[in-house]
Structure 1
Amino acid sequence: MPSNFLPSPARARSPHSTVRRDLACVVVITVLAGALFATFDFSEFAYHWTRSAERFQLDELPATLFVLATGCAWFAWRRYRESQRELQHRRALEEEAERLLADNRRLASEGMNAQETERRHLARELHDELGQYLNAISLDAGRIRDLSAGREPETHRLALSLMQSASHVYRQIGDMIRRLRPIGLDEFGLPTALEHCVESWRERLPQASFTLTVDGDFSRLADTLNITLYRLVQEGLTNVSKFARSSRVEIYLVRAPGDAARSGEIVVTMADDGPGTDLSKPRAGLGLIGMRERVEALGGEFHIASQPGGGFLFCARVPVQAGLPEPSEPNEDDAPLPERSEK
């Protein structure tokens, strides 16, 4: 994986450490200046130099400068206090923005959960209800065909037409079910569903080469996370069919282990050696935007890299715990009420 998809965290310098450093510099410079002035008798030299201008009262200048320095110090202290208050206010606003962003991601995740739940329900209804009746229609038409063979050619022809229509509708419903819900995702898991998806694209694009590599345990993931990972690969393969039909496509799905503080993350990478594109130019399609929104809604990161003639690559990093319900904190209102003692 390219190293530019692994951003390193920037080190933030504390404002308090900067203030202490500047104050220490001022103290050190003042001490050195006092030592130099004492060594070279700067006051006597200044008095000798300004004695001829006694009528201008220059001997009162140090006191005036002291008052000015005190005023500047007071002014600097006021500005420092105001900057601290402004900094605290900005931090509060940033924390509020982070909280609102987290709420937005949570709502987006709940919206995708509701959407996928409705899609699952609709797919099952199409399969169980319409599929059952279409099979019954096909069987009845086959029975009519067998009984009418050789005796009523017109009835035989209508029976064949009825069977063909039922088969066509059944195939269309199968395509709708596959678009609503990935085949095998609920029964066999994400890796098997991706294998089926890639295999279907191998049949559609025989001139392209597809390689799928899966590394890690992908069980017990949230349904929203499974759907997001599947849709990423699906949309990436759709882009390949549009812009790189004869390229070599490599897909990597890796579950990276975490440490004591984090539970790990899942990395999806898809790269092809197609014609590529110029990312500096605006793009009319919404596929990449939808992919980015799906990943960022789960608190992940989405990166793309491409150049004309250099292929196309996207990398998505999503936390393993994305989409799982957060443990709710105990509420005082939910505490059991004390039993009333009967007299």
Structure 2
Amino acid sequence: MSSEPTHPSSAGSPSPVSTIWRDLAWVLAVTALAGILAAEFDLSERAYRFTRGMERFQLDELPTTLCVLSIGLAWFAWRRYRDARRELNRRRALEEQAERLLADNRRLASQALQAQEFERRYLARELHDELGQYLNAIALDAARIRDLSSGQDNTQSRAQPPASPRAHDPEIHRIALGLIQSASHVYRQIGDMIRRLRPIGLDEFGLPSALEHCIDGWRERLPDASFSLTVEGDYSGLSDALTITLYRLVQEGLTNVSKFARGSRVEVFMVRAPRETHSADGTNPLTDEIVVTMADDGPGTDLTKPRAGLGLIGMRERVEALGGEFHVASEPQGGFLFCARVPAHAGLAEPVN
């Protein structure tokens, strides 16, 4: 069990202000006492020959008093210096602890996001491989039942003699058509779920093509709105965590923007460019960063309302988990503006199995 370090400002310890006044009171008290003793026992006459000339002015005790005062002030300054160093070390330790906690928080958030994407990819694969083939089998069997109920048999070989005609059963034919329509509807819904779980073409064709496909989907959903996508730079060497984060950022941003666009123009801009950073040795190395900006000229919304912040927290967590920055601005009749900056080298060091 770890014990918490004690600090000067912890509970039960005097405050720095009270300590300063207490030490100053001690200095003044000792100085006054030294002056009184020097006057009472003629310490100045006994210790310093040069003070005898001041005796007629009653100032012969002044050097002793000033000497004691100087010593007291030196002690007071040393105490303040020690307290300042102690406070500085305490604050430095707290800053280092806060930095460690922030790094741990970002690492845990990154691992949680990576685990979430891993689970999404697994679910998309299972939906496609397992449910997809069973739905196809159901649709084929329903089509077979439909043909048989209508007196047709398209699977019969031409070399075989024609079978006796089957009676037409309208009820079975109707049920078979319903099964075909239901299977087709479920298949389309599963396809939409797979596309939401894992973007189509992200692994095969890259991030720009996947974003273009996402924009095309929004053009179909909102034909009255104008969507534009501009991508500049090379995105071939990004980590999987960063790639999926950029895609989810645009996807969620379009979802939030489209809620309030109402026929306005939506612009998405992504660029990879060098960024100058300052290292510990004083040099200014250049590292790439990716900037994603989304804006519209719609009515916007009030971000102070709780409902207006839905989805923004997840976007911010994704960006900050990779060491990036996320900003959003919106006001009524002012439109939305999203801006995210992420280092191009960001990624997860430890894969999730």
Whether 1:323 aligns to 2:347 is yes
Choose from 298, 308, 311 the match for 1:287.
Answer: 311
Indicate if the aligned counterparts of 1:113 and 1:223 stay in contact, CA closer than 8 A.
no
| Aligned positions of 1:1-343 closer than 5 A | 57-149=58-150, 151-258=168-275, 261=285, 263-279=287-303, 281-284=304-307, 285-325=309-349
Distance (whole Å) between structure 2 residues aligned to residue 241 and residue 294 of structure 1: 20
Q: 1:60 offset after TM fit, Å?
A: 3.3
2:121 match: secondary structure: helix
State TM-score, norm by structure 1.
Answer: 0.74
CA deviation vs aligned residue, 1:31-88 (integer Å, no higher than 9, x gap):
xxxxxxxxxxxxxxxxxxxxxx966723433442343133213211221122112212
Aligned residues: 274
CA deviation vs aligned residue, 1:126-167 (integer Å, no higher than 9, x gap):
001110111121122222222322522222212111100110
Aligned in 2, Cα 1:275/1:66: closer, same or farther, shift over 3 Å?
A: farther
Distance (whole Å) between structure 2 residues aligned to residue 310 and residue 219 of structure 1: 36
* Runs of 4 or more consecutive aligned structure 1 residues displaced over 6 Å after TM superposition: 53-56
Distance (whole Å) between structure 1 residues aligned to residue 331 and residue 187 of structure 2: 43
Distance (whole Å) between structure 1 residues aligned to residue 144 and residue 195 of structure 2: 30
CA deviation vs aligned residue, 1:259-298 (integer Å, no higher than 9, x gap):
673531111110111112344x343342111111111111
Distance (whole Å) between structure 2 residues aligned to residue 82 and residue 177 of structure 1: 62
Distance (whole Å) between structure 2 residues aligned to residue 122 and residue 291 of structure 1: 22
Report the structure number with the largest CA radius of gyration.
2
- Structure 1 unaligned regions, length at least 5: 1-52, 328-343
1:246 match: secondary structure: coil
Aligned in 2, Cα 1:288/1:138: closer, same or farther, shift over 3 Å?
A: same
State TM-score, norm by structure 2.
Answer: 0.72
2:349 partner letter = P
CA deviation vs aligned residue, 1:159-204 (integer Å, no higher than 9, x gap):
1111001101111111221221112212211111111111111111
Indicate if the aligned counterparts of 2:294 and 2:338 stay in contact, CA closer than 8 A.
yes
1:106 partner letter = R
Q: 1:210 offset after TM fit, Å?
A: 0.8
Indicate if the aligned counterparts of 2:121 and 2:197 stay in contact, CA closer than 8 A.
yes
Q: 1:211 offset after TM fit, Å?
A: 0.9
Distance (whole Å) between structure 2 residues aligned to residue 160 and residue 68 of structure 1: 106
Aligned position for 2:26: none
Structure with the bigger percentage of helix: 1
Distance (whole Å) between structure 2 residues aligned to residue 106 and residue 129 of structure 1: 34
Indicate if the aligned counterparts of 2:110 and 2:348 stay in contact, CA closer than 8 A.
no
1:323 partner letter = G
Distance (whole Å) between structure 2 residues aligned to residue 108 and residue 152 of structure 1: 60
2:209 partner letter = T
1:206 match: secondary structure: coil
Indicate if the aligned counterparts of 1:202 and 1:209 stay in contact, CA closer than 8 A.
yes
Aligned position for 2:161: none
2:306 partner letter = R
Aligned in 2, Cα 1:108/1:262: closer, same or farther, shift over 3 Å?
A: farther
Distance (whole Å) between structure 1 residues aligned to residue 57 and residue 275 of structure 2: 76
